[in-house]
Amino acid sequence: MDRDHRDSGPRVHELRADPSNVHWGYFSAAVKPVLTINSGDTVVFEDVPRVDPEVVEQAGVPPGEIPENHRAIYREVHDRGPGPHIMVGPVSITGAEPGDTLEVRILSVELAYTYGYNTQRPYGGTLPEEFTQFFQRIIRIDREKQTAEVARGVVVPLTRPFFGTMGVAPPAALGRISTGPPGVHTGNLDNKDLGAGSILYMPVHVPGALFSAGDAHAT
């Protein structure tokens, strides 16, 4: 195979979660792409937990287990909201135009951290009156065994991790929208069936589609 033909084939890109590659709490057509790819390329997305690293450390996780990029995002990214999710991207797909459908194939999802978290926020979620107290637990993860200790002595398998929020830029007329509720951009589906081997289809609203992913769940 000649070099030119080889170079023209699908490529694999790595997109690290760091302050220059994330947008926090929103989707918008105004966000500049951090990566441009061709249709058929593969992108390896890195994610970070949406919990303050200081809280993680106070919960007993050794400082050396908390990656510097997790700390850097909390330290350096101040443009946040209105939603809560840290999104990696956006990625522009060459040739994608409004009216197209973007197909994203999730090839694999791997556990990258030795900790996760679970939070209950007062008067939030779909049953706001049922949960009136704040609660947050740091959960230790055994990446080798693919398990999590959700309570003392209670260990559960982590068989199907997934990205809870995946979406494209909304129409420019909608401006900056929250990562909280899903919408025309797709967004926060929290669907455990969108793990490895699944396919997600999304409408394209702006040139390049501007796809982002985040809010990873260990389940």
Residue 68 phi/psi, 5-degree rounding, is -65, -35
With contact defined as beta carbons under 8 Å apart, do 117 and 51 qualify? yes
With contact defined as beta carbons under 8 Å apart, do 12 and 42 qualify? yes
pLDDT reported for residue 59:
86
pLDDT reported for residue 120:
77
Mean pLDDT of the chain: 92
Query: With 70 as the cut, is the pLDDT of residue 176 above it?
Result: yes
Q: ω into residue 10 within 30 of 0, thus cis?
A: no
Percent of the chain with pLDDT over 90: 79
The predicted-structure confidence for 179-197, as pLDDT tens digits, reads as follows: 999 999 999 999 999 999 9
Residue 3 phi/psi, 5-degree rounding, is -60, -40
Closest CA to 40 of 93, 98, 100, 87: 93
Closest CA to 113 of 59, 188, 61, 189: 61
Q: Domain segments of the chain: what residues?
A: 3-54+66-111+161-217
CATH of 3-54+66-111+161-217, one of 2.60.120.580, 2.60.40.10, 3.40.50.1360, 3.40.50.261: 2.60.120.580
The average pLDDT across 65-87 equals: 96
Q: Radius of gyration of the chain from Cα atoms?
A: 18
With contact defined as beta carbons under 8 Å apart, do 85 and 50 qualify? yes
The predicted-structure confidence for 6-38, as pLDDT tens digits, reads as follows: 456 899 999 999 999 999 999 999 999 999 999
User: How buried is 33 (Cβ within 10 angstroms: 0-12 exposed, 13-18 middle, 19+ buried)?
Assistant: middle
The predicted-structure confidence for 84-129, as pLDDT tens digits, reads as follows: 999 999 999 999 999 999 999 999 999 999 988 887 778 776 777 8
